[in-house]
């Protein structure tokens, strides 16, 4: 393959990564935006979503499409409920102290991860995609005999991957409408702006917190259900999404939702492109250091406003 088609393939793969990443990071961002806490266990909620999707699909054992749709409903609900329960039991108990929350969610991370290792086991398990057609993509070129149009070998994408991109976009639009157009969204934004004032106006802040924490985890679970037909379910799969989500949320500005989407596109695409052309480990080192530097020198994020 020539450089052009190769780059296009890398960008398509990057777009899939970006779509999943946008969902997962959005979950982290919503939680940080409203509750002002960092959930280190976020990647494990993602992993749990994937494992539940596998469980639902294998238990039903019918057509992959049925299992997939069932997983898309069940996994976010179960994971969301679990996260809300963890919020009620643990985070409320420590009064959302930022540092203690991080320590507690680190604990939660290991409980979920190792609990999954004990029940689900150490092996990766695949989930069949609901549909999977290979779509060859054309490439244009100015050749010796003028404009040429051909299908380079290897330049293709599956219909399922296109579906992932569309589905993630739809869910993000739905989330945006939910936050800006519904009463529940209004309540969340009110809590985000001033939780004490919201409490004074009769908003059940602790309930809102539990719901937001559940919503954040559910978003990660949806991302995982979408990704699991491409990538297998594994008990350690939450690690990379957690770091990438951190990176996205930090670059986008902590708690800024549009910033999160833009940063997810940026990071997802560049991750796709860089890891095709360079060693993935080197790409990760550069990305991690770059983000640390952003936090050090521009803590409000690249797109966030400076705090007053």
Judged by the rule CB under 8 A, the positions of this chain that interact with another protein are 38, 90, 93-94, 98-100, 102-104, 106-115, 117-118, 239, 243, 246, 250, 279, 281-282, 284-285, 288-289, 291-293, 295-297, 299
Cβ proximity to another protein: between 184 and 285 the closer is: 285
Q: Which one, 60 or 295, has the nearer CB to another protein?
A: 295
Nearer to another protein, 231 or 288 (CB): 288
- In the complex, least distance from residue 284 CB atom to another protein, rounded to whole angstroms: 5
Beta carbon of residue 282, minimum distance to another protein (angstroms, whole number): 6
Rg from Cα positions in the chain: 20
- In contact, 128 and 233? CB cutoff 8 Å: no
In angstroms, rounded to a whole number, what is the distance separating the alpha carbons of residues 251 and 259?
A: 8
CB of 40 to another protein, least distance (A): 9
Q: How far apart are the first and last CA of the chain?
A: 52
Q: Count CB atoms within 10 A of the CB of residue 46.
A: 32
**Which CB sits closer to another protein, 86 or 233?**
86
Residue closer to another protein by CB (options 112, 164) is 112
> At its nearest, how many Å lie between another protein and the CB of residue 137?
33
Burial of 35 (0-12, 13-18, 19+ CB in 10 A): buried
Compute the least distance from the CB of residue 18 to another protein, in Å.
Answer: 20
CA distance 248 to 233: 23
Q: Which residues contact 259 (CB under 8 A, 6 or more apart)?
A: 251, 252, 253, 301, 302, 303, 304
Separation between Cα atoms, residue 19 and residue 223, nearest integer Å: 8
């Amino acid at each position: 393959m020539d450089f052009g088609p190769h780059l296009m393939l890398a960008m398509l793969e990057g777009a899939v990564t970006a779509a999943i990443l946008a969902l997962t990071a959005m979950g982290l961002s919503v939680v940080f935006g409203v509750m002002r806490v960092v959930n280190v266990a976020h990647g494990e909620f993602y992993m749990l979503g994937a494992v539940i999707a596998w469980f639902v699909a294998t238990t039903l054992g019918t057509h992959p499409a049925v299992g997939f749709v069932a997983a898309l409903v069940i996994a976010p609900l179960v994971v969301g409920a679990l996260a809300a329960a963890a919020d009620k039991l643990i985070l409320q108990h420590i009064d959302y102290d930022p540092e203690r929350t991080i320590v507690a969610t680190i604990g939660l991370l290991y409980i979920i991860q190792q609990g999954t290792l004990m029940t689900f086991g150490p092996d990766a398990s695949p989930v069949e995609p609901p549909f999977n057609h290979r779509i060859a993509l054309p490439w244009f070129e100015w050749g010796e005999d003028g404009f040429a149009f051909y299908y380079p070998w290897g330049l293709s994408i599956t219909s399922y991957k296109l579906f992932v991109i569309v589905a993630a976009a739809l869910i993000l639009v739905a989330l945006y409408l939910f936050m800006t157009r519904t009463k529940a969204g209004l309540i969340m934004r009110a809590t985000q702006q001033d939780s004490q004032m919201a409490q004074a106006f009769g908003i059940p802040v602790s309930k809102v917190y539990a719901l937001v924490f559940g919503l954040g985890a559910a978003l990660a679970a949806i991302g995982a259900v979408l990704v699991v037909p491409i990538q297998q379910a594994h008990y350690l799969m939450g690690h990379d999404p957690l770091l990438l989500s951190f990176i996205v949320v930090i670059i986008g500005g902590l708690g800024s939702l549009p910033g999160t989407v833009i940063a997810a596109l940026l990071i997802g695409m560049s991750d796709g492109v860089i890891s095709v052309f360079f060693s993935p480990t080197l790409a990760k080192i550069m990305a991690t250091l770059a983000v640390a530097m952003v936090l050090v020198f521009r803590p409000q994020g690249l797109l966030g406003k400076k705090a007053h």
